[in-house]
Chains A and B, each alone.
Chain A
Amino acid sequence: MRHGRLMAYTGSPWLMALIVFILTSVYVGTSFGGATYWPFMDFLLKSWPGLVLIALLAINQTAWSVRLVLKRRQPLAAEMDAIKAMDVHEHLPPDSPMKDTAQFARWLRAQGYAPVETSGSLWARRGRASILPGMVLRAGIALSLIALVASVYFVAAGQVLLTSGQKARVLGQEVQAISIDPGMPAEFLQAGTNVRGGFTLDDIKVTLRSGGREFTATGGYPVRISGLYYRIIHLGYAQPANTVRGQDILMLDVLPPGSVSTHEIGGTGAYEFRLAPERTVKKGLVSGGLYDLHTPRYAINPRGGKSEAVVARSGEGFFKLQGMRITLGQAGLYVRLSVVDYPAMPLLKLGLRAMALGLLMMFVRLGWYERRFAATMHEGRLLVGYSEEFYGKWGVFKFRRWMSAPPFTS
């Protein structure tokens, strides 16, 4: 009994409503209409009250499913009081052709039910497994909550910037970039000047070697190798610049065209780099720049300088800037990789997929739900009761139609 009460409380939808209410109140109470999502998440995931609430919610979702399973496994009560508490019941008249439970059981079988007879009474139920969509959804919620907490406490992240051929060590693993394929077109036409719209790379790839294996990381879904997740999170030009003081490799952040990247060259002042168009192209009302993305041209000027920018192409010749001779080598590419040790990711994906599946499955509940019959003999006549999980009103109408027609009336 005590266990039953504990299950009833912990698996109650009202507990979920209470937890959601507390969380909403915390969010509202601290928001003042401003953006407080991340502080709220810090409360939820990094403070003990928040963790208690999450744990309670996860336990609640699990207990809810267990409670429903136990409830559906229990036989229905077919006593008189229980039948009278159903959505609708009828005490058949003395002249009804339906005289006893055996006849009623035959009628139930014809309707597709499997009646269970128990000492003068019987009950029947259909749609017992209809709690499945809800169980899948609740399982997804519980798994996602656990994964959410794990994503805070059991994750290690790092970033590494690699040019082609370069090696680096991140999160205890050595990784080398074998080749970078940006999937960039040779030329890019941009409408207007100093704008950033329209430039998108959807096929960027880098071939990496780590732990003796070669694999490809992209800018899309992360790839998991030896327990670590790899993903490209940025791309730019690795531009060698030679001066009398030596060679600098400038990691130019000049994509998309219009972006400005500021760097020191030869230990001197900062210079602003931006991509310079090959020529201006007019298309209808619009004119814009045509950019060579494979062998880029740069407009370079000292930061804060008032003079016009020097234009130089990578790999060609030299130029002078503020009295300093600078030679640009052949530009390569660099990628910035995000490397994450994230053991909770499979659990999170499983949880989210279960939630999505459960939500989709909920649509079948429109037609798939529990229907219950119970009957017993009372004063020599059959007392029949009927309940439906949903659409009680139409269940009542259906029952009355049955009771008004043969074999319940002559």
Chain B
Amino acid sequence: MMPVTVKLDDLLHARRMTLTELSERIDLTLANLSILKTGKARAIRFSTLEAICRELGCQPGDLLGYEAGSD
């Protein structure tokens, strides 16, 4: 498990948005967005982070979390 966690599920649920809708809005493939959602991504570009925060109306800290000692 990566120490950095991605809370995309919760944010999507709160905004009543599907992963597919979000992928279309931020011009990221559904495959890559799924990789992010399932915690398999190794890195995220600032441009992707910016686009997600813009569409979900959140801060990076709302999307990403850190749990020490979970690697």
Q: Do A and B bind each other?
A: no
B residues adjacent to A (C-beta < 8 A):
none
On A, residues with C-beta under 8 Å from B are: none
